[in-house]
Structure 1
Amino acid sequence: MADWKLVPGCKPILPAADGHANIRLEGIDALETHHGGNYGPDQHQPIGLAHQAADALLTFLGFTGIVRKPDETVTLTPAGVPGFILTRGFDVYGRCVALVGRGAPPGRSGYKIEIDDALLKRTANYHLVSLGLAYPTFYTGFPVSLRKVLAAAAQQARQSTPPLGVWAKDVTQSGVNITGMASLTADDGAVILPKLFRRLKEYLDLNPTDASLACLPSYLGGGADKFHMPPASKEITGLQHAIETTNGNTVRMTRQPEEIIFVEK
């Protein structure tokens, strides 16, 4: 419990009564197992790959028994395992943003640690990207050198024969035809970057009977997503600048995930 007080930021992490706190794995994003958003009920992306990512994370950390209940809660064996988190602080939702590793920590709690390529490759973050079970998703505070390592791991998983994990089915750049929410949430639904899924899910929630994407660029323009696309340094507002829509109901992103750097809120 006391170690949570060492997380930097303008307010402390507030753990639950049992001592746990929510963590967002830095630099990566796996398929959603549940996302509510602002307007509608929770929805998930193709659940098989989402569960593979969750199970790979827990197995990497050292849990040998994983039991998932219908409500997506999980019981684990053993109840705890040794590990560490490397964090710069928390996000706007109060989640600790971190690299997560197993075994003995590389330094003492509360001390600054220089993270090099070798240490990054010891983390679950790198492990999930290397298996193709998570997309690289970068924010401006994440060091450029570490972005390059995760980007290279993602490219290797994507270019493997056959492609690994999500990359075997990913249509983020080739395009997804939207005929309704099931296009994104069915077991055989489209596999796309989770951030794009979240925006499409929220857009479709506004008018569940109309799957037209005609108003999607305007909707995204009103959003708060800010990013830049290297080598350009200009800050861009609105994810509509990184997508294309065709035929009224097909959408694709124009850049690979690792080529977009989001601005932290």
Structure 2
Amino acid sequence: MFMLLIKGTFRVPADAKPDGDTVPFIPDNVADWKLVPGCKQIAPKADGRVSVRLEAVDALETHYEGPYGTEQHQPLDFAHRAANELLAWVGFDSVDRHEDETVATIPESVPGFILTRGADIYGRCVALVGRGTPPACTGYEVRVDQELLRKTANFHLISLGLAYPTFYAGFPKELREFLTTTAQQARAAKKGLWADDVDVTMKGAKVTGMSSITAANGAVMLPKLFRRLKEYLDLKPSEPLLNCFPSYLAGAGDTFRITSEREEMVGLHRVVEVTNGHTVRMTRQPEEIVFEEK
């Protein structure tokens, strides 16, 4: 697959709250943002900065508000590990994290590049993140193969088990299968989220309220499942059971398919199971699911 290469710097300003799957990036030429395809044009900050969303990667949420309720986060230990590892990988020597999730870095900025296939419907640039000297000139379309993917932060986070593979249909099968193997190797080696008794996405989590998924000892799960649970609990804060959660998932309308099947599915209730009214689990591993672009 060919992706647009943009050269620039990673810089974390005082008001930014980078997490494990986004990083602030400023092109050497701010006009390069106009080269990024997509149904909605990217709107950079006054300094040219955009928070780049890492392609094929989903890290634990450090701040998610959603359509209802107030901002919440997943258990912060592994959320911070992923965020700090991302910043360290791109080249920051130290990261000082504040209570409000803003950070101070040394140095203030580091050189790097992104490889993007476009912006999503929210105007976010979705990209592979590279460090140092890019493999081509900025503005060029570069063929991304497994060798180049291996040199990205996206690969790095999944190889350490610090983030979940989360695929969308536009991401090519060859690269998806490479990251799938990488994630499975990390899981087999019990790295990061896959260490004993950490991730409970498939094993199941007892959810009796918001603290079940947000507290320090709360359930660690696929962020997309967390986001849907958070939204549901915001709507039903006094409801102790998840009996209506499958119906909520059906209404949310996430469209996807399973890699081993051809059928398109609508609603995560097709791959989420609720038992005893409060225990929720996914019936498919994250890398088996390919979501449709929105």
TM-score higher than 0.5 here? yes
| SS of equivalent to 2:118 | strand
Separation (CA, whole Å) in 2 of partners of 1:140 and 1:50: 26
Structure 2: runs of 5 or more not aligned: 1-29
Q: Residue 132 of structure 1 aligns with which residue? A: 161
Match status 1:237 vs 2:266: yes
Match status 1:21 vs 2:77: no
Separation (CA, whole Å) in 1 of partners of 2:118 and 2:267: 25
Q: Residue 249 of structure 1 aligns with which residue? A: 278
| SS of equivalent to 2:121 | coil
Runs (4+) of structure 1 moved beyond 2 Å?
A: 9-12
Letter of the aligned partner of 1:14 in structure 2? A
Separation (CA, whole Å) in 1 of partners of 2:204 and 2:149: 32
Separation (CA, whole Å) in 1 of partners of 2:147 and 2:287: 20
- Deviation, 1:10, is 4.1
> Aligned match of 2:104 in 75, 85, 96?
75
- Deviation, 1:14, is 1.3
1:150-179 per-position Cα deviation (integer Å, ceiling 9, x unaligned): 11111111111xx11111211100101111
Q: Residue 10 of structure 2 aligns with which residue? A: none
Separation (CA, whole Å) in 2 of partners of 1:156 and 1:49: 19
CA RMSD of aligned residues (A): 0.9
TM-score normalised over the length of structure 1: 0.97
Structure 1: runs of 5 or more not aligned: none
| SS of equivalent to 2:224 | helix
Q: Residue 5 of structure 1 aligns with which residue? A: 34
Letter of the aligned partner of 1:79 in structure 2? E
Separation (CA, whole Å) in 2 of partners of 1:238 and 1:150: 24
> Aligned match of 1:167 in 194, 197, 201?
194
Q: Residue 194 of structure 1 aligns with which residue? A: 223
Q: Residue 60 of structure 1 aligns with which residue? A: 89
| SS of equivalent to 1:187 | coil
1:169-209 per-position Cα deviation (integer Å, ceiling 9, x unaligned): 11100101111111100111111000000000000000112
Q: Residue 248 of structure 2 aligns with which residue? A: 219
Separation (CA, whole Å) in 2 of partners of 1:193 and 1:157: 15
Letter of the aligned partner of 1:229 in structure 2? I
The number of residues matched between the two structures is 263
Separation (CA, whole Å) in 2 of partners of 1:128 and 1:62: 14
- Deviation, 1:230, is 2.0
